């Protein structure tokens, strides 16, 4: 694998078959050169993959690799809803306070 070039080790995102770096388990034979990188992730939404696994019926992967992700996804969803409600409530209170001053 060491051919004097620089590059990246890669690891696939399939939790069922992923047992190590692609270069070690034989998926890809060499380091991935910079010119072969097509895109780079710029945002991550934690636990959203568990929703996809549930929809696809692959709950065994969830049970094996990420048994707590459904609970965390639910907590994240509830938190986002509560934050949006708090912002709306605060906005309404400020609006009412301004209206009473007039």
> What is the predicted pLDDT for the residue at 49?
77
Mean pLDDT in each 10-residue stretch from start to end of the chain (102 residues)?
69 63 72 82 75 80 76 88 96 89 76
φ, ψ (nearest 5 deg) of residue 31: -60, 145
Cα–Cα distance measured from residue 59 to residue 45, given in angstroms and rounded to the nearest whole number = 19
- Tokens encoding 102: 């007039």
> What is the predicted pLDDT for the residue at 33?
81
**How many CA atoms within 13 Å lie on the side-chain side of 58?**
14
Cα–Cα distance measured from residue 68 to residue 62, given in angstroms and rounded to the nearest whole number = 8
pTM of the model: 0.48
> What is the predicted pLDDT for the residue at 4?
67
Check if the beta carbon of residue 64 is closer than 8 Å to that of residue 37: no
Tokens 């992923």, residue located: 18
Element (H, E) at 97: helix 69-101
């Amino acid at each position: 694998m060491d051919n004097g070039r620089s590059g990246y080790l890669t690891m696939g995102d399939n939790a069922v078959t992923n047992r190590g770096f692609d270069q070690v388990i034989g998926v890809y034979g060499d380091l991935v050169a910079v010119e072969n990188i097509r895109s780079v992730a710029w945002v991550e939404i934690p636990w959203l993959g568990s929703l996809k696994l549930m929809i696809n019926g692959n709950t065994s992967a969830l049970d094996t690799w990420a048994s707590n992700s459904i609970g965390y996804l639910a907590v994240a969803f509830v938190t986002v809803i509560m934050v949006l409600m708090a912002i709306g409530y605060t906005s309404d209170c400020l609006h009412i306070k301004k209206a009473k001053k007039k």
